[in-house]
Amino acid sequence: MRTQEEGDTLDTVAPKGIIHTFTVNGTTLLADTATGSLLVLDSETAKITKLLEDGKSLESIPDSSAKSELQQLIKDGTILSPVEFPPPQTLSPKSVCLIVSHACNMACTYCSLAGVTGEDKLMRPETAVRAIDWITRVAPGRKIDVDFFGGEPLLAWDTVKAAVEAGERLSKERDKLIRWSLSTNCIALDQEKIDYCREHFISLILSLDGNEVTHDLYRKTKNGGGSFELASRNALEVTKNWDGGFYVRGTYSKKSINFSDSVKALHKMGFSSIAFEPVVSSDPEIGFITDDLPTIRVEYEKLAKYYVECKKSGNPFRFYHFELDLDEGPCAYKVAGGCGAGCEYVSISPDGTLWPCHQLDGNPRFGMGELRDTIPESGSEKQGDETLELDTGKLDVAGLQENYDKYTQINHISNKPDCISCWASTLCAGGCIASNQIIEGSFSKIYKIGCEIQKIRLEVALWVQAQLS
């Protein structure tokens, strides 16, 4: 709550973005950014909270029973408390995306890595082991996340296994817990690989975009045919013996904007954990524009109704973006720190080069350093504390730390002017900085359409919370 200067009459004024009144599926709700409180409002109260959001003081609004209820919630601290974001911490990586393959056995027409996957380069097992050695040395805490990505990571299966086996050994020696994941198009996902992943706790991210027609729109085989039949058959094998540890991850685009149907189709096929993301693309044939937002809202609202119905009828499934956890969420440091690209999270390409994010893989402007395959000649490297000795290579630690510090600042919410007074800041943490860079040309310029879609699905997810409370 902000008050006027001493001596003036105290007025209750809502700082910009501190509360947000919105309507989903006919229900009007209020979310409080700082306290996390969530209210369902009647129309009379919603009119008052809208006035507060527009800068009116509560005292300037005529007395009513609705106003009295609001005053009580303000008095007891349920709403209208200030947001205070903590300053940036010193961060270093604890999460790695190992791009073990630039090769792919498919030719998806919306692939974000299409520019680099043409190299058909695989990561050598030695490079992967070096990466695991490195992350288990530099990760500040106990928990480390490693994702195998591509291209298609299953094409570098020996590299995956070498990394996992090294990780299991090194994590014991160094008291770490490595949590693995692998993103696959499912084409090469045979029973041996499924069994290995389950045995070694490698969570699987299964790329399916919905039913056959939707999936095959973009997810093409090398000869231009559809991939749904084989991919879905292999993916369903995972669901037979796993009680968790996987997500179906779909992408929707302009041509598959009816994604609520896609999610329903996947649920009806038997998939119980589903995440769907809008494509990030400036191609008008694929990516979204402002005019698409009303349709996207309708799709999320339809999906939310289905999700709630399924939960209530005993046929639940997980939809990632609806699974808000308002009670056990991350701390203020985490919220303020953003996604962590370039500081807590790095990607490593097949040749051992470090990038701030998998989406920036191969962009020469953003290379951060490299895990070298060979020992440099004597005298060609910095020595002493600034160089990290690895089994067969050296890494410029001082140079990397400069990058971590730079990206820590870029990620921090105080450096995202569009976010600092946004109602969604404590749920979103400021968006994807790689998308900002790719679409808007700057890390600090918010990717507008992505931001709007994020806010829509957060509103709908909060509605889901209200329905299930």
Partner 1 sequence: MHIKVIKRNPKKCQIIDSKCRECQTPCKSAAKTANTIGNQVCELKKRETRWIL
Q: Which of 338, 352, 356, 393 binds partner 1 (CB under 8 A)?
A: 338
Rounded to whole angstroms, what are the CA distances from 371 to 129, 406, 457? 10, 20, 39
432 is an interface residue for partner 1 by CB under 8 A: yes
Q: Which is nearer to partner 1, 34 or 187 (CB)?
A: 34
Any idea what DSSP says for residue 291?
G
Least distance from C-beta 133 to partner 1, angstroms? 20
349 binds partner 1 (CB under 8 A): no
Report the SS3 class of residue 152. Answer: coil
What does residue 344 show for φ and ψ, rounded to 5 degrees? -95, -20
Task: State yes or no: residue 284 binds partner 1 (CB under 8 A).
Answer: no
Name the residue nearer to partner 1 (CB basis): 69 or 261: 69
Q: Which residue among 25, 57, 71, 78 contacts partner 1 (CB under 8 A)? A: 78
The separation between CA 354 and the C-alpha centre of its own chain, rounded to angstroms, equals 20
* CA angle 192–195–196, rounded 5-degree value: 85
Per-residue contact flags (x/-) with partner 1 for residues 10 to 29, judged by CB under 8 A = -------------------x
Site for partner 1 in 144-203 (CB under 8 A): 145, 147, 149, 177, 179-181, 183, 201, 203
**Which listed range, 307-315, 376-384, 396-404, 426-434, lies at the site for partner 1 (CB under 8 A)?**
426-434
For partner 1, the closer of residues 396 and 446 by Cβ is 446
Is there binding between residue 458 and partner 1 (CB under 8 A)?
A: yes
Stretch that binds partner 1, among 17-25, 123-131, 370-378, 421-429 (CB under 8 A): 421-429
Among candidate residues 167, 367, 143, the one with its CA nearest the CA of residue 159? 167
Q: Which residues contact 227 (CB under 8 A, 6 or more apart)?
A: 106, 185, 187, 215, 216, 219, 220, 221
Which three-class secondary structure state does DSSP give residue 40? strand
Q: Which is nearer to partner 1, 70 or 128 (CB)?
A: 70
CA distances from 419 to 8, 80, 83, 415, 456 (A): 31, 18, 12, 9, 15
Nearer to partner 1, 325 or 377 (CB): 325
Q: What is the DSSP string of 198-222?
A: HHTTEEEEEE--SSHHHHHHH-BBT
For residues 374 and 469, which CB has a smaller minimum distance to partner 1 in the complex?
469
Binding residue for partner 1, selected from 285, 332, 382, 417, defined by CB under 8 A: 332
Among 328, 374, 380, 384, binds partner 1 (CB under 8 A): 328
Contact positions with partner 1 (CB under 8 A) in 261-280: 273, 275, 277-278, 280
CB nearer partner 1, residue 97 or residue 170? 97
CA–CA dist 284, 61 (Å, integer): 46
Alpha-carbon distances of 58 from 9, 48, 64, 65, 66, rounded to whole Å? 12, 8, 11, 13, 11
Residue in 327, 364, 377, 441 binding partner 1, rule: CB under 8 A: 327
What is the DSSP code string of 354-413? EESSGGGTT-GGG--EE--SSPPPTTSS--GGGEEE-SS-EEEHHHHHHHHHHHHHHHSG
Residue 293 makes contact with partner 1 by CB under 8 A:
no
Give CA separation, 102 vs 96, 119, 135, in Å.
16, 6, 21
Cβ distance to partner 1 smaller for residue 356 or 393: 356
Query: How far is Cα 239 from Cα 267, in angstroms, rounded to an integer?
Result: 12
Query: What is the chain's alpha carbon radius of gyration, rounded to the nearest angstrom?
Result: 24
94 binds partner 1 (CB under 8 A): yes
First to last CA, the chain: 27
Q: Which of residues 243-262 bind partner 1 (CB under 8 A)?
A: 244-247, 249
Q: Residue 77 interacts with partner 1 (CB under 8 A)?
A: yes
Near partner 1 by CB under 8 A: residue from 6, 9, 54, 65 = 65
Return the structure tokens found at 386.
Answer: 């600034």
The verdict on 141 binding partner 1 (CB under 8 A) reads: yes
Q: Count Cβ atoms below 10 Å from residue 260 Cβ, excluding itself.
A: 21
Contacts 24+ apart (CB under 8 A), 44-48: 45/69, 45/70, 46/21
Site size for partner 1, by CB under 8 A? Answer: 88
Q: Tell me how far apart the alpha carbons of residues 419 and 415 are, in angstroms, rounded to a whole number.
A: 9
Candidate list 205, 213, 230, 298; residue touching partner 1; CB under 8 A: 205
Contact code string over 371-410 relative to partner 1, x by CB under 8 A:
----------------------------------------
Q: Measured from the CB atom, is 142 or 382 closer to partner 1?
A: 142
Q: Which of residues 303-322 bind partner 1 (CB under 8 A)?
A: 320-321
One residue of 91, 113, 217, 308 binding partner 1 per CB under 8 A: 91
Closer residue to partner 1, CB minimum distance, 124 or 457: 457
Which residue lies nearer to partner 1 by CB, 357 or 400?
Answer: 357
